[in-house]
Amino acid sequence: MNAPHLPKVAGIDSTVPPPAHTAPPVQPAQGAPAAPGAQGAPGALIQDRLAGWVSDLTTLHELNERLSRTAALDGALTELLRAGAALVGARRGLVVLEPADGLGPTTTVGLGLARADLGHLETVPRAATSFGRLLDATAGATPGAPDCAPAAKTAPPAAAPVTEIVQPDLLADEALDPRHREVAVRLGYAASYALPLLTDTAGRVGVVVWLYDEPAEPAARQRHLIGRYLQYATEHLARLVDLDRARSTTATLRAELLPPRLPRVAGVQLAARHSTGPRGGGDWFDALPLPDAALGLAVGSVTGSGPSAVAAMGRLRASLRAYAVMEGEDPVAVLSDLELLLRLTEPARSATALFAFCEPALRKIVLAGAGHSPPLIVGERRTEFVETSLSAPLGMLACWEAPSVDIRPEPGETLLLYTDGLLQRTGDAMDRAFARLHAAAASVPKAARDDPGKIADHVLRTVLPEGLDGTDGPAAAASEEDVVLLAARFE
């Protein structure tokens, strides 16, 4: 007789049924005839046990496959809680992410617990919670997973490694902290099972706790399964923690390299919106006050992604600022100098850029572009792309050159500068993306035309319905592109 296999992960029950075993063979009384088939009972027992082991391995494999498909830390934590709840027979739980090195990130994610419920748990003294005791006990512990032997219900000696904390009946525990008892009654849980998340290289990553509605505790086989599952899951979490740290560092570096605030220049209002892709790209913008009440506006994009592209973007933006101060009234000269610098210092990299020299008092703009998308003029009487000449990106030719373009915006008109990421995020072909951008700019409500920030927000909402940071809809495949939008409204 074969043991019933566990259901597939998509519909796994909240409990893991123990493998079906045949009863041990009953020895017939001396002199009595042997029961038919009695001699086959030992073979059936072994077969049932093997079937149970195969079922367990299949379940763990499927759960690990599901976890491996999570690319974000929050999604991995949620999947860990769901899979663990199925393995230990719980309905709710929480995972506290607190790496032992103190470098973060630190967060608490709940399963079946609202944010207010997590807030109630945070009011319990740390030493009175199982996850708090495990976090403190494993500050310098070495990794270890619980085996199938039941753990002691009481806390182990201080010198012994803490591998789990089982609280099978919280409300019957006279030593339970009064505040913990109050929160348990409020949230409706009566038992808990906590395990540390430990890795060989990173040490402690955090702690996971599952909560039972009634007094209960996982069986020996359930503990064995969850221990094996956590061996892989914790390593996966540690990799995502490292990735999250790298992304956070890149985002911080990029934010520091971009203008922390836009300047105030008489005769013009400025607004900027930008979003960085998950890998960190090299799109940038700048607004620089220049002598004689002039203003320099720039947007650009560096090829590549990651920290190297962000560093190259910072160097390029800083160099353009220097050239703009020296010869900003001639945008072609500014971009020519920038192209020469890029070709000499980073010959393997190219970039697109657009620089505009603005005189707000005269409502005059002189701009030049290097392989960059044309800007938009948005006003009550017109919404049109600026007719810039075709030009190559910086670093692509032995000698870059392109003519400049003069623009005379009317009072109340807004100049929109943007990077190609805005068009690529749409997921459309470039001609359709340009048409969508033009339609979005033309549909700006009259009440919003006096505020460049509202204009920028309307354009982004119309062109990218999923938002700057969304990944839903047809543009999900292109969501890794950076987006920059710089709006300048002339009074």
DSSP string across 44-58: HHHHHHHHHHHHHHH
User: Per-residue pLDDT for the chain (491 aa), expressed as one digit of tens each?
Assistant: 444 444 433 334 444 444 444 344 444 445 545 444 444 567 788 877 787 788 888 989 999 999 999 989 999 999 999 999 999 999 999 999 999 998 889 999 999 999 999 999 999 999 999 999 999 987 754 444 444 334 444 444 444 456 899 999 999 999 999 999 999 999 999 999 999 999 988 889 999 999 999 999 999 999 999 999 999 999 999 999 998 888 788 777 777 788 888 999 999 999 999 887 766 678 999 999 999 999 999 999 998 887 788 888 889 999 999 999 999 899 999 999 999 999 888 888 899 999 999 999 999 999 999 999 999 999 999 999 998 877 889 888 777 778 899 999 999 999 999 999 999 888 889 999 999 999 999 999 999 999 999 999 999 999 987 765 544 444 444 457 889 999 999 99
- Classify burial at 129, counting beta carbons within 10 Å of its beta carbon; exposed 0-12, middle 13-18, buried 19 or more: buried
Please give the DSSP secondary-structure letter assigned to residue 153. Answer: S
| Contact assessment for residue 187 and residue 67, using Cβ atoms and an 8 Å cutoff | no
Domain map (residue ranges) of the chain: 44-248, 259-490
Question: Of 334, 341, 336, 486, whose CA–CA distance to 421 is shortest?
Answer: 486
| Contact assessment for residue 207 and residue 195, using Cβ atoms and an 8 Å cutoff | yes
- 386-387-393 Cα angle (round to 5): 95
Contacts 24+ apart (CB under 8 A), 439-448: 441/376, 441/378, 441/383, 441/416, 442/378, 442/383, 444/378, 446/380
Name the 3-class secondary structure at 198: strand
- Classify burial at 30, counting beta carbons within 10 Å of its beta carbon; exposed 0-12, middle 13-18, buried 19 or more: exposed
- Classify burial at 75, counting beta carbons within 10 Å of its beta carbon; exposed 0-12, middle 13-18, buried 19 or more: middle
Question: Of 303, 329, 332, 328, whose CA–CA distance to 316 is shortest?
Answer: 303
Cα 316 from chain centre: 28
> Residue 374 has what pLDDT?
92
Name the 3-class secondary structure at 384: strand
Cα 317 from chain centre: 27
The answer as to CATH 3.40.50.720 being correct for domain 259-490 is no
CATH number for the domain running over 44-248: 3.30.450.40
* Token pair recorded at residue 415: 């100049």
